[in-house]
Structure 1
Amino acid sequence: MSITLALLAVAAQSVPATEQAPPTAPPQSAQTPDDQDEPGRLGPAQQSGGDVVVTARRRAETIQSVPIAMSVIGGTALADTGAYNVGRLTQLQPSLQFYSTNPRNSAANIRGLGAPFGLTNDGIEQGVGIYVDQVYYSRIASATFDFTDTDRIEILRGPQGTLYGKNTTAGAINITTRKPSFDPEARFELTGGNYDFLQAKGSVSGPLVGDVVAGRFSASFTTRRGTIWNTTQDQWQNSQDNLSLRGQLLFKPAPNLDITLYADYNRQAPTCCVQYYAGVAPTQRPANRQYAALAAAAGYAVPSTDAFDRVTDVDTPLRAKQKLGGASAVANWDIGPATLTSVTAWRFWNWDPSNDRDFIGLPITTVSANPSRQDQYSQEIRLGSNGRHAIDYTVGLFWFHQTIDTQGLQVQGPAASAWLLNPASAAAKDPATLDGLTARNTIGFTNTSAALFGKLTWHVSDRLQVSPGARLNYDRKEGSYVSVVTNGQGGTNLTSDQRGVLSPQRYAPKFDNWNLSGDITVAYQFSPDIHSYATYARSYKSGGINLSGLPLDANNDPILSTATVKPETVDHYEIGLKTQLLDRRATINLAGFWTEIHDYQATVNNYQLAVLRGYLANAGQVRTRGIELDSAFRPSAGLNLYVNAAYTDAKYIRFTNAPCPPELSGGSNSPPFCDISGQRLPGVSKWAFSYGAEYNWPVGEGQVYLGYDGSYRSDFSSNPSPSAYMDVAGYSLSNFRLGYRKGDRLNIFAWVRNAFDQDYYELLATQSGSTGLIVGQPGDPRTFGLTVSLGIH
């Protein structure tokens, strides 16, 4: 944090305290006098009647005047709707997709773009940037913490690389926590519900040294028993067990200087995460090598063929333990015409998993784990103009360094031979052929990135703005993948059958690249309440390296030409209209976008029988286009409504060497690749909506309220190559709450989520080896409970 501390020392001596001007930034939220509720209480759209101030462009502006498609969710809305982590934001923001089979294998996408659909590969970067108090979180896994003491969340759609330190080609999720206060305050929240759900949150803040130093400490604890019963292990699985601690110190040694020190620690130790039998689909393998015949030969049957019975028999202990945290310092020095900002950060992420990767109760793969240790360091320096001038600007320098050490382990069990090999062969009839076959994978990775970025805003007139931006970016990635495979006796002399299941590999990929990207936005204000904009952006998502093993040639040797992945080239077009009508009682924002990506980074198969992970390759071209609506209405003082919608048409324009869907895989005559040009991208629904209402009426000094939040997503493909058997059906969810609030001092409400107990899958996957088994991850059933929150001032 040397740069931040140097700023502090210089600034403290630069101007006498009596001559310094107060900071020019407005407060984080400003409202009209008759707007008593927090903006964004109901959902992502601005609540009608007030101005929500955001910092999306690294300066304080009202959301309606920012020429970016974005949504804001306030801290109160997060609590009211139960959106206490990134995954639950999807019920409030239709353009956001989040998929997770466990914290490490998580992906956040916006408009269908961000990360390849499938299991995580350490060697690439996410296209959706996660920022917490201006610090970039390099892995979506490290952002799966519970939101603690959150002030607001800004979701920005489309490329943002000319405003943010790390390049974000699909969008950004910008999380801001509550800052230390010089007025003593405390907040407490306690929630209990079915499935033994218990969540406690608390924060305290106040002055520590007069009006110079203030502190804030917050904590959150969440626990819930699982929703899936495991008959083999005699326990509930897919539980929650999370602890979050966060501390802040704010120093204001002079009116024109503030520096905030942050530290946080998060621990998650759930019994998680299980995917299990959802159905069977035919593949091209011989009938005696598909699931039905294999299960019959083994005398095996799953405990239920209805996934929504929520029962499984997977026989490997499940664990999704992670520890994550870090420290950062943010300094803001107002030097008059501009503010100099320094953001210095260190973060860590330790991952300790255990998975059942055959998804059933037979001992096929008895161990599947890739424990990882990650450290990241980053430094950002920004200079941003103060106030409004003919030309406003933000320019910055960014440096980032990341290291990852993964020690993977995969072990085959006594049922592996019969399940994975040709049943007619002698090797398949001998359990010892694969029993104890072990792969120990040592994976190292270093990632260094640096950038010079900036954006100007030229106020051509009081109504017309032209905002060009540019980014010069450098990325270097170096990795090492060593897989040592031993047989059941510990030897390295492997048979062809053994090498076909787990094959030793050793390679050391490297990648480095410079690129120059940019954007330009033209914004026009028709009236104080009607704003329009048009944007073109050319950006790049960094290339990468494959660190999950490479596909094999006919001799079972890795194909080294697949070790690196080229950068994505993004051309993005967008138009938008932001309006407030009827004396600001109605807010209606529209955005239309068209994005084309060349050399799209996609997940493809590696064809190994017992290895679930695929590798990365470049598809020729993809395109996503659509229309989005964010709207909020206040027809009366006691009634608030919101409707948000997204139509997203995301397709492969050209992908001629894609992996084939399961129904075309596994046979001796199956095509090695399929042309899926014109078919839809995985993981994104064509239609998505969120909608809700809250009605309140005065009772004494407070108000009683009734609220509803609903969401709908149409069907989506759950396989990188669209399959007739791998579509997740569309579904809708409904949440209700009834409570009493008294300002921000007391809020007590009963809630029910997924009120109609909708059965739905979060995703589907296939068992490796083309057996035809499809496994699923059901979403949460109906839950209900009671929340009490108190504010003390």
Structure 2
Amino acid sequence: MSITLALLLAAQTDAATAPPTPQAEPAPAQVVVGASAPGAPTRTEEDVQRSSAAADVVVTARRRSEQVQNVPIPISVVGVKELDNTGSFNVARLQQLQPTLQFYSTNPRNSSVNIRGLGAPLGLTNDGIDQGVGVYIDQVYLSRVAAATLDFLDVQQIETLRGPQGTLYGKNTVAGAISITSKPPSFTFEGRAEVTAGNLAFKQAKASISGPLSDTVAVRLGMSTTDRRGTIYNVRTGTNVNSQDNLGVRAALLWKASDALNVTLSGDYSRQDPDCCAQIFVRVGTTQRALNRQFDALAAALNYEPPSRNAFDRVTDLDAQLQARNVLGGVSLRGELQLGEGTLTSVTAWRFWDWLPANDRDFTGLPITTLSQNPTRQDQYTQEFRYAGEGNGFNYVAGLFAFYQDIHTTGTQRQGTAASRWLINPPANGCTASPTALACDPSVLDGLTASNDIRLKNFSGAVFGKLNWDVTDQVTLSPGVRLNYDDKVGSYVSIVRDAQGNLVPYSGGTARQAAQRDAIQPQAFEGEAYRAWNVTYDVTASYKPSRDILLYGTYAHTFKSGGLNLNGVPVVNGVVQTQLAQIAPEKVDHFEIGAKSQFWDRRITLNITGFWTQIEDYQAVVNNQSTSTLRGYLANAGKVRVRGVEADFSVRPSERLNLYVNAAITDGRYVDFKNAPCPPELSGGPAAPVGSAGGPAGVPGAQSPVVCDISGQWLPGISRAAFSYGGEYNVPAALFGQQGQAYLGIDANSRTKFSSNASRSIYTDINGYTLANLRAGYRTDSGVNVFGWVRNVFDNNYYEVLATTPGNTGLIAGNVGDPRTYGVTIGASF
């Protein structure tokens, strides 16, 4: 932590002979309206209801304070008032306000944040690859998407930048960045508290306080806690699962060392410990597996029936332990020195992540897989130096970035008493006639245990810069470049033992051991390394014909780092396919044109963006259809393409009324993916000759192709059309002698059908849906706000994620979205 302070103090000493540069006082906190926020009050929080003109929202997307309408980047901005009013306390809720943002999660670790459908492959998280969407909190890059599942802590503003961000930000990200800015310590004493109660025993409390410790030191403390009963009832245990149990605290200390130097030390700790996460029975889709080995026949052989075949009954009978303890935290030291005609910034940070899960990976109430967990510990260290300067007719950002990550995962999978009958091909004459057959002997797989040891050491370093050159008063050219080096070294070791502790060999052995190996395949590769240099560059041209109109176009050539398959790779005839251990980097070409505009004395904001992104060697999840610890590995698709149009509109005709509509039309497809995994309806049968298309889909016993050509199919997770819209109306009112406003607000989002499987399946498309939310309340001029709210007003049934399950039995499991919820919130600030 001494790096930041020592270097900045040294720089300040060197600059002491130069004329001092006065440091501007921080601007008042801006609230969000305009292009991408729900209807909201304008101007600063202090001036919230005094004007009908649209606010000039200030962002730091280009590492300097600018009005958002003057930045030639598509940016969605949400402030603290919008987060509170709409109940958007994490990224999962935030996506309902921003149609180009997608968030999918089956548990905190297996979460993905995508922008325009790009970022991370939909499916099980693989630690060996980078994220395509960068999440930053107070300029510190977070390498784990698990952070996105936690509650926002004392947030001032969230900026979502769409498109590649490699020449302005520390970590290269090909799809965009989410930059979260916390409220800074204040030299004016202030505080805020809010409590919420609702159905499903929902309880949430948030509080913060800030003030001076001296003339040069200020402190800020914040906390948040959320608790809610689970939405799924487990008839086996008599408990509600998929609950919420979040706790977060944050502290920040600001030292104004001089008129030119500010130093901020901050630390945070967040913990989730819910009874979670159950994926429940959704449907059965027929595969090409033999009929007696599909779900219904296997369940009948074991006298099993799910508690309900309607997922929206919200019941399950999962018999394995469920746990999703997720702990993140860290410390950062940020120094900002006014040096010459610019600002030198240093950000030094350490962060940790502890993940302690337990899952039911057979997705049934049968003792097939009785233990499935991959507890993980990560430490990451980052250092960024950045100088934002300006000259006559130009300004620029130049930076150095270093990132180091150390991950250690120790996983366990254990089979139970029903595993043999479920996983091994039974004799033709049945178990009654052949009770000693392997499938009929529970002891063959009962107690079979895989112990995994997975390690990754990941270094990334970069030099980057961006220039904004004012060619004329109206035309600006903005080229940028980045030189990046990645060095990843990893290993994957899976040792399998039977119930007596005997090792299961990688190949050969007895028929019993071969059956055990088919259930859980031992494998190992160590010291696998990926090392590469890459160059990123982009250029933006912008034209500002008038104060309230900005036109721009961008081309970016960028990449997502290659990586390692740390979920394991296939084993063929006892040989570990180590040639699949490395994943090639994605090569990205991105084109974008846009217009930002305001009309009617800035009461109307209309921003439109068109984009075209194509990626070669797209990193996709390939699902292995066996019931082994290898549940999915990574492969490179030949080429994908995402294109679309986005429009953000808001209007504030008066102080009483504001409205907004955000829309995204997106077309995401595999352009070339000829060797893709096949969907379940084309899997599980005897192997077809190489190159053959196999037999009819979903016909038991038909031949299954070795690979499938899915060129032209949808990319997963992308709706063709998505919208968010809403507004708020208020009237002046007095209550108990307090002047204020009564208000009614609505926010809603709609999306069309999307695929939930890497290879689109007839069983895993998710139908489109609309979610509408209402709020009504009263707020005073003195800072009190009381309102009632309803989320999912019409109690619509919808799926968040659907997933194929191991073994080609045809079982489809999934996550159902929240039902209607309602409650009351009381908040006060001073």
TM-score grouping bracket, smaller chain normalisation: over 0.9
- Give the C-alpha shift of residue 480 in structure 1: 1.0
Structure 1 distance, partners of 2:98, 2:206, is 24
| Corresponding position of 2:96 | 91
| Corresponding position of 1:461 | 472
- Give the C-alpha shift of residue 124 in structure 1: 0.3
Is the counterpart of residue 472 in structure 1 residue 491 in structure 2? Answer: no
- Give the C-alpha shift of residue 91 in structure 1: 0.3
- Give the C-alpha shift of residue 317 in structure 1: 1.4
Is the counterpart of residue 499 in structure 1 residue 517 in structure 2? Answer: yes
SS at 1:606's partner residue?
coil
| Corresponding position of 2:786 | 748
- Give the C-alpha shift of residue 9 in structure 1: 2.8
- Give the C-alpha shift of residue 37 in structure 1: 2.5
Is the Cα contact below 8 Å between 1:7 and 1:333 reproduced in 2? no
Inter-CA distance 396–760: structure 2 relative to 1 (3 Å threshold): same
- Give the C-alpha shift of residue 30 in structure 1: 5.5
| Corresponding position of 2:422 | 419
Is the counterpart of residue 7 in structure 1 residue 1 in structure 2? Answer: no
After superposition, give the CA deviation of every residue in 1:643-686 in whole Å (9 maximum; x if it has no partner).
00000100000000000000000000211100000011001111
Alignment of 1:371-520 (within 5 A): 371-386=375-390, 389-424=392-427, 426-493=437-504, 495-508=513-526, 509-520=528-539
Structure 1 distance, partners of 2:732, 2:19, is 48
Is the counterpart of residue 135 in structure 1 residue 154 in structure 2? Answer: no
SS at 1:294's partner residue?
helix
| Corresponding position of 1:171 | 176
Inter-CA distance 406–236: structure 2 relative to 1 (3 Å threshold): same
- Give the C-alpha shift of residue 226 in structure 1: 0.4
Kindly report structure 1 stretches of 4+ aligned residues shifted beyond 3 Å. 11-21, 28-33, 38-41
| Corresponding position of 1:298 | 302
Is the counterpart of residue 568 in structure 1 residue 602 in structure 2? Answer: no
| Corresponding position of 2:240 | 236
Which of residues 640, 645, 654 in structure 2 aligns to 1:622? 640
Is the counterpart of residue 316 in structure 1 residue 335 in structure 2? Answer: no
- Give the C-alpha shift of residue 767 in structure 1: 1.6
Which of residues 273, 280, 305 in structure 1 aligns to 2:277? 273
Is the Cα contact below 8 Å between 1:706 and 1:737 reproduced in 2? yes
Gaps of 5+ in 2: 34-38, 46-51, 429-436, 506-512, 687-702
- Give the C-alpha shift of residue 10 in structure 1: 2.4
SS at 2:82's partner residue?
helix
SS at 2:579's partner residue?
helix
Structure 2 distance, partners of 1:641, 1:657, is 47
- Give the C-alpha shift of residue 286 in structure 1: 0.3
| Corresponding position of 2:694 | none
Of stretches 444-453 and 493-502 in structure 1, the one that deviates more from structure 2 is 493-502
After superposition, give the CA deviation of every residue in 1:156-209 in whole Å (9 maximum; x if it has no partner).
000010000000110000000100000000100100000000000000100012
- Give the C-alpha shift of residue 382 in structure 1: 0.3
Is the counterpart of residue 598 in structure 1 residue 616 in structure 2? Answer: yes
Letter in 2 for 1:413: G
Letter in 2 for 1:639: L
Structure 1 distance, partners of 2:243, 2:761, is 31
- Give the C-alpha shift of residue 36 in structure 1: 9.3
Inter-CA distance 755–110: structure 2 relative to 1 (3 Å threshold): same
- Give the C-alpha shift of residue 475 in structure 1: 0.4
Alignment of 1:55-134 (within 5 A): 55-134=60-139
| Corresponding position of 2:809 | 771
Structure 1 distance, partners of 2:32, 2:516, is 71
User: Root-mean-square deviation (CA), in Å?
Assistant: 1.8
After superposition, give the CA deviation of every residue in 1:715-762 in whole Å (9 maximum; x if it has no partner).
100110011111011000000000111246111100000010010000
| Corresponding position of 1:696 | 730
Structure 2 distance, partners of 1:120, 1:36, is 36
Letter in 2 for 1:292: D
Inter-CA distance 356–22: structure 2 relative to 1 (3 Å threshold): same
Letter in 1 for 2:461: A
| Corresponding position of 2:261 | 257
After superposition, give the CA deviation of every residue in 1:267-303 in whole Å (9 maximum; x if it has no partner).
1100000001100101000000000100111100011
Letter in 1 for 2:753: D
Structure 2 distance, partners of 1:526, 1:71, is 23
Gaps of 5+ in 1: 42-46
SS at 1:91's partner residue?
coil
Alignment of 1:304-343 (within 5 A): 304-343=308-347
Which of residues 570, 574, 599 in structure 2 aligns to 1:581? 599
| Corresponding position of 1:783 | 821
- Give the C-alpha shift of residue 11 in structure 1: 5.1
- Give the C-alpha shift of residue 610 in structure 1: 3.4
Is the counterpart of residue 681 in structure 1 residue 715 in structure 2? Answer: yes
Structure 2 distance, partners of 1:78, 1:63, is 19
SS at 1:209's partner residue?
coil
- Give the C-alpha shift of residue 20 in structure 1: 3.6
Which of residues 729, 743, 755 in structure 2 aligns to 1:717? 755
Is the Cα contact below 8 Å between 1:28 and 1:60 reproduced in 2? no
TM-score (norm 1): 0.97
Structure 2 distance, partners of 1:115, 1:642, is 29
Structure 1 distance, partners of 2:465, 2:768, is 41
Letter in 2 for 1:117: L
| Corresponding position of 1:44 | none
Structure 1 distance, partners of 2:40, 2:321, is 50
SS at 1:789's partner residue?
strand
Of stretches 602-611 and 472-481 in structure 1, the one that deviates more from structure 2 is 602-611
After superposition, give the CA deviation of every residue in 1:592-616 in whole Å (9 maximum; x if it has no partner).
0000000000011234323462100
Structure 1 distance, partners of 2:800, 2:152, is 21
Letter in 2 for 1:673: V
- Give the C-alpha shift of residue 336 in structure 1: 2.6
Structure 2 distance, partners of 1:719, 1:30, is 40
Letter in 2 for 1:68: I
Alignment of 1:647-658 (within 5 A): 647-658=665-676
- Give the C-alpha shift of residue 120 in structure 1: 0.4
| Corresponding position of 1:27 | 27
- Give the C-alpha shift of residue 397 in structure 1: 0.2
After superposition, give the CA deviation of every residue in 1:202-250 in whole Å (9 maximum; x if it has no partner).
001000122x000000000110010100000110000011100000000
Is the Cα contact below 8 Å between 1:696 and 1:706 reproduced in 2? yes
Is the Cα contact below 8 Å between 1:439 and 1:483 reproduced in 2? yes
Structure 1 distance, partners of 2:188, 2:441, is 73
Which of residues 551, 573, 595 in structure 1 aligns to 2:570? 551
Structure 1 distance, partners of 2:142, 2:28, is 23
Inter-CA distance 25–573: structure 2 relative to 1 (3 Å threshold): farther
Letter in 1 for 2:546: S
| Corresponding position of 2:692 | none
Which of residues 207, 213, 221 in structure 2 aligns to 1:217? 221
Letter in 1 for 2:589: D
Of stretches 615-624 and 12-21 in structure 1, the one that deviates more from structure 2 is 12-21
Structure 2 distance, partners of 1:150, 1:481, is 39
- Give the C-alpha shift of residue 143 in structure 1: 3.0
Is the Cα contact below 8 Å between 1:442 and 1:481 reproduced in 2? yes
Structure 2 distance, partners of 1:17, 1:152, is 37
After superposition, give the CA deviation of every residue in 1:369-407 in whole Å (9 maximum; x if it has no partner).
000000000000001015x74110000000000000000
SS at 1:769's partner residue?
coil
- Give the C-alpha shift of residue 24 in structure 1: 3.9
- Give the C-alpha shift of residue 22 in structure 1: 2.7
Letter in 2 for 1:235: T
SS at 1:4's partner residue?
helix
